[in-house]
């Protein structure tokens, strides 16, 4: 057995502030950014210093505590009103990943349900943010182990393709899709990970590749347009991706390009798995057409790094996510086990907010 316990934790509570790994600087530089107030946390989420659905949920939970700490009143009702303003600010950062909204709501609900002084409420909010952080780490490990149950039984050592970064960096640690990869590696079931580079922001090339190098998981990087060819050549045995929001019918929003990978997998009869915690499922949405899709600045398309790659006079479109329809998904791997998209509903009551 190989040790695969990732030592990468993108959101760390330290005494009285949060440390974030600056994911915009990886892999060139490993830098920790100190976050001491809710404005800076909102900015860090918006500018993707911290990114990935579960990780922004954890970051937002701490952001709620930092915002609560800034409120200067002893009056409970006034406190709750001002806490709602902090929530609005954090909600306005990124629209697609539902974990952000889930974590903020859990913090709001905790504050409303807790009796006692404002000082005591603030203490409870910090403890709740720490719990969200720790639970996500445990959840990812469970997702990893659930994944082992459904990965193809042959060949013994699999080559798995992933898209974007659904790893330790995108969660409290360990990862969802990369959690499955880590568990497979630990159990001797992984030959190698193939990773799409994931234009425009290159999370695959920069972040997934960095994580795998840290943990010595063998990785082959391909550009996004190579996936179909690799599948046709028989190089890929399964696809495992993460998710930003899953509708009640199993339609799944994930990083732009995921949908194309799912279509290619279907065409080549390769199982396509979505690995995500229940906090990523939005049971309020009937299907994926209701998932809000973030559009980001066009500079992400016309530039690579700081280099402009297009002539002037071109228009751009930059949706950050796409929706893979449930019928292309073999199974959704959660902390409670793997189910087909149509069976997801059975978990609704397990989703604590
Ligand atoms: O724009 P990003 O980098 O936040 O998008 C991340 C993804 O799409 C991930 O695949 C998803 O959040 C799952 S993370 C476990």
3-class SS of residue 333:
strand
Task: Determine contact, residues 262/324, Cβ cutoff 8 Å.
Answer: yes
pTM, two decimals, is 0.97
Helix (H) or strand (E) run with residue 195 in it: strand 190-196
ipTM, two decimals, is 0.99
Answer whether the bond into residue 136 is a cis peptide, omega within 30°.
no
The CA angle 51-30-104, to the nearest 5 degrees, is 25
CA–centroid distance, 117 to ligand 1, in Å, is: 38
- From the CA of 53, give the closest atom in ligand 1: 12
Mutate to test the pocket of ligand 1, among 47, 57, 97, 178 (most ligand atoms within 8 A of CB): 97
CA–centroid distance, 3 to ligand 1, in Å, is: 25
CB atoms under 10 Å from CB of 241, counted, come to 28
Residue 244 annotated as catalytic: yes
Q: What is the mean pLDDT of residues 276-296?
A: 97
When pLDDT is cut at 50, 70 and 90, the band that residue 2 belongs to is: very low
Task: Determine contact, residues 63/45, Cβ cutoff 8 Å.
Answer: yes
Please tell me the residue having the least CA distance from ligand 1 atom 6: 52
169-184 per-position pLDDT tens digit? 999 999 999 999 999 9
Catalytic residue among 136, 215, 244, 251: 244
Q: What is the mean pLDDT of residues 283-311?
A: 96
3-state secondary structure 237-286: CEEEECCCEEECCCCEEEECCHHHHHHHHHHCCCCEEEECCHHHEECCCC
84-143 per-position pLDDT tens digit? 999 999 999 999 999 999 999 999 999 999 999 999 999 999 999 999 999 999 999 999
For residue 38, CA distances in Å to 133, 208, 211, 293 come to: 17, 28, 28, 24
Q: What is the mean pLDDT of residues 53-70?
A: 98
d(Cα 180, Cα 142) in Å, to the nearest integer? Answer: 9
Mutate to test the pocket of ligand 1, among 8, 47, 170 (most ligand atoms within 8 A of CB): 170
pLDDT above 90 covers what percent of the chain?
A: 96
Any binding-site annotation on 52?
A: yes
Q: Which residues line ligand 1 (CB under 6 A)?
A: 51-54, 97, 164, 166, 170-171, 176, 203, 242-244, 254-255, 320
In the sheet where 245-247 sits, what is the strand order?
281-282, 245-247, 252-255, 321-324
Can you name the residues that pair with 195 across neighbouring β-strands?
Answer: 162, 221
Choose among 33, 35, 14, 38: nearest CA to 23. 33
Any binding-site annotation on 326?
A: no
When pLDDT is cut at 50, 70 and 90, the band that residue 305 belongs to is: confident
3-class SS of residue 191:
strand
């Amino acid at each position: 057995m190989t040790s695969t316990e990732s030592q990468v934790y993108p959101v760390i509570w330290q005494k009285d502030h949060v440390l974030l790994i600056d994911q915009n600087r990886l892999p060139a530089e490993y830098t920790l950014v100190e976050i001491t107030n809710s404005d800076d946390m909102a900015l860090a989420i918006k500018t993707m210093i911290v990114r990935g659905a579960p990780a922004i949920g954890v970051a937002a939970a701490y952001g709620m505590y930092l915002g609560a700490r800034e409120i200067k009143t002893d009056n409970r009702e006034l406190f709750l009103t001002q806490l709602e303003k902090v929530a609005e600010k954090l909600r306005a950062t990124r629209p697609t990943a539902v974990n952000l909204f889930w974590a903020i709501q859990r913090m709001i609900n905790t504050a409303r349900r807790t009796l006692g002084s404002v000082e005591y409420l603030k203490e409870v909010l910090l403890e709740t943010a720490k719990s969200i952080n720790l639970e996500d780490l445990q959840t990812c490990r469970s997702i990893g182990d659930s994944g082992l149950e459904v990965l193809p039984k042959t060949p013994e050592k699999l080559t798995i393709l992933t898209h974007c970064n659904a790893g330790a960096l995108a969660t409290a640690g360990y990862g969802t899709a990369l959690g499955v990869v880590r568990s497979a590696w630990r159990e001797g079931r992984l030959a190698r990970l193939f990773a799409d580079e994931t234009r425009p922001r290159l999370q695959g090339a920069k972040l997934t590749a960095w994580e795998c190098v840290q943990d010595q998981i063998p990785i082959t990087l391909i550009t996004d347009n190579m996936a179909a060819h690799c599948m046709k050549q028989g190089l890929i045995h399964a696809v495992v991706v993460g998710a930003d929001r899953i509708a009640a019918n199993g339609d799944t929003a994930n990083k732009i390009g995921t949908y194309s990978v799912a279509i290619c997998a279907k065409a080549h009869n390769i199982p396509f798995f979505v690995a995500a915690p229940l906090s990523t499922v939005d049971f309020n949405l009937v299907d994926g057409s209701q998932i809000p899709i973030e559009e980001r600045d066009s500079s992400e398309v016309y530039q690579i790094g700081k280099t402009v790659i297009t002539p002037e006079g071109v228009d751009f479109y930059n949706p950050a996510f796409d929706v893979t329809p449930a019928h292309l998904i073999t199974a959704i791997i959660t902390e409670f086990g793997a189910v087909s998209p149509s069976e997801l509903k059975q978990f609704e009551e397990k989703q604590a907010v």
